[in-house]
Amino acid sequence: MAVSKKEALLQAAKDLFGECGYNETTFKKIAERADVAMGLMTHHFGNKEKLFLACGLDVLENFHRKLSEATSCAPDGRTAIYNYCKAYLDFSIDPSTNWLVLVRCSPYSDMKTSADRDIMIEKFMQIHAVLIDAIKRGLEDNSIAKVDPVQTAIIIVSLMVGVNRTRVLTPYAPEHFYEEALDFVIRAVTPGNA
């Protein structure tokens, strides 16, 4: 068998959570798409929330890797920030990443078990950490203005969250919206602008 049934299940779940959101994604839909029995889900993942957690973490891990790669190859801090944002936005519109899982489902609302939520929160922290490092690097090599790394990182990530939601959830995003957003970020951190 090319992929195990467990993998097929996880992929089907990622697809459906991203397409339909948490509540509209039913065990039946997942089982049908993965072509396995319904009971296999609780067998492998325990329950719906744990399955969602597995999906979310899977996406976040790939995301984290992409962001790390993008920043580590940058020649300076400012470029690292740019690369981070670019990688973020690219990832968010690449259908193969199942990014929508994290947009259509809310780790903060759909996960009722606080232990599971904490795992997710921890993973998100790592995403922030990559950007914080990039900003610190920029401060050291003087490629960006003097800003507070943590505050700035969270604002930039928030901007990414916002523009991404605007693009994938609403009809308001104009052409070249992502490019503009990248400009906006760089403008805000470039020395001489503060």
In the complex, the residues that contact a second copy under the rule CB under 8 A are: 21-24, 104, 106, 108-109, 121, 124-125, 128, 148, 150-152, 154-155, 157-163, 165-166, 169-174, 176-177, 180-181, 184, 187-188, 192-194
Instruction: Please choose which of a second copy, DNA, none residue 58 contacts, taking the beta carbon within 5 to 8 angstroms, the exact cut-off set by kind.
Output: none
Among 33, 40, 64, 129, binds DNA (CB under 7 A): 40
Q: Residue 13 in contact with residue 25, Cβ under 8 Å?
A: yes
Instruction: Please choose which of a second copy, DNA, none residue 173 contacts, taking the beta carbon within 5 to 8 angstroms, the exact cut-off set by kind.
Output: a second copy
Q: Residue 10 in contact with residue 31, Cβ under 8 Å?
A: no
Our CB check for DNA shows the closer of 115 and 174 to be 115
Per-residue tokens: 106: 């809310």
In whole angstroms, the minimum distance from the beta carbon of 37 to a second copy comes to 14
Burial grade of 125 (CB within 10 A; 0-12, 13-18, 19 or more): exposed
In whole angstroms, the minimum distance from the beta carbon of 156 to a second copy comes to 9
Q: Please, what sign has the CA dihedral across residues 94, 95, 96, 100?
A: positive
Instruction: Please choose which of DNA, a second copy, none residue 48 contacts, taking the beta carbon within 5 to 8 angstroms, the exact cut-off set by kind.
Output: DNA
Helix axes 114-140, 149-169, angle to 10 degrees: 120
Stretch that binds DNA, among 2-10, 56-64, 96-104, 175-183 (CB under 7 A): 2-10
CB within 8 Å of 120: residues ≥ 6 apart? 53, 56, 57, 60, 107, 111
Instruction: Please choose which of a second copy, DNA, none residue 106 contacts, taking the beta carbon within 5 to 8 angstroms, the exact cut-off set by kind.
Output: a second copy
In whole angstroms, the minimum distance from the beta carbon of 94 to DNA comes to 27
Per-residue tokens: 173: 């995003």
137: number of Cβ within 10 Å: 20
Q: Does 47 bind DNA (CB under 7 A)?
A: yes
Q: Residue 77 in contact with residue 86, Cβ under 8 Å?
A: no
Instruction: Please choose which of a second copy, DNA, none residue 129 contacts, taking the beta carbon within 5 to 8 angstroms, the exact cut-off set by kind.
Output: none
Q: Does 38 bind DNA (CB under 7 A)?
A: yes
